[in-house]
């Protein structure tokens, strides 16, 4: 089994790579998705890629253990908000460590969680998984949440819905059970 120190080192190395991709929501995410696919290929993980409505925007669904519905999902989006007009003191697409903290665009929201998902794969593969562990990587959370909508449609169409899902969104760094809610009013 991988040691906690090795996992942390792997997580930071993965995060360094993930933040180097400018996946600002207006940009395609395909270069990052292809890099994740390469990581999954290197670890013999089953996955499917699904196109969004715009060229170059993709979701990815990986499964460890039995390829079936049920089990637990971990979900993270790979897009981030723009950096224009912000006073960055360093390159926002280069991971920087300062006083024990890691800085870069998307490092917390939410490429850090995505890096942890990927770094956990070798450990998960050592476990006798009776139920699947799903890994979801989505696009466009920052602007429309459409990536998650497309992902859900795809997963349902393939009858692979998990029983539970952990979403690594850093809501003030406090766990939230269920959704905080949303209310929309449309003027006619």
Show the CA angle centred on residue 164, arms to residues 163 and 168, nearest 5°.
Answer: 155
Catalytic pick among 22, 37, 79, 109: 79
Distance of CA 179 to the CA centre of its chain: 18
Distance CA 3, CA 63 (A): 23
Catalytic pick among 16, 22, 109, 141: 141
Collapsed DSSP state (helix, strand, coil) of residue 47: strand
The full DSSP string for 100-130 is TEEESTTIIIIIHHHHHHHHHHHHHHTS--S
What are the tokens at 87?
A: 């006073």
Contact (Cβ atoms closer than 8 angstroms) between residue 18 and residue 108? no
Does the active-site annotation cover 54?
no
Collapsed DSSP state (helix, strand, coil) of residue 29: coil
The sign of the CA dihedral 165, 168, 170, 173 is positive
Does the active-site annotation cover 79?
yes
- Please identify every residue annotated as catalytic: 79, 141
């Amino acid at each position: 089994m991988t040691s906690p120190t090795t996992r942390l080192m792997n997580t930071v190395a993965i995060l360094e790579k993930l933040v180097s991709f400018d996946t600002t929501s207006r940009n395609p995410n395909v270069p990052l998705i292809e890099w994740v696919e390469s990581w999954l290929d290197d670890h013999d993980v089953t996955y499917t890629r699904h196109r969004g409505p715009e060229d170059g925007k993709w979701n990815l669904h990986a499964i460890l253990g039995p390829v079936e519905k049920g089990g637990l999902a971990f979900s993270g989006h790979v897009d981030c908000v723009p950096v224009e007009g912000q006073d960055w003191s360093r390159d926002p697409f280069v991971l920087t460590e300062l006083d024990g903290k890691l800085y870069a665009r998307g490092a917390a929201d939410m490429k850090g969680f995505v890096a942890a998902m990927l770094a956990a794969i070798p450990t998960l593969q050592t476990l006798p998984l009776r139920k699947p562990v799903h890994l979801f990587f989505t696009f466009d959370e920052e602007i429309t949440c459409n990536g998650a909508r497309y992902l859900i449609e795809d997963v349902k169409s393939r009858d692979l819905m998990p029983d539970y899902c952990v979403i690594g969104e850093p809501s003030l760094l406090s766990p939230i059970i269920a959704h905080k809610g949303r209310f929309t009013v449309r003027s006619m």
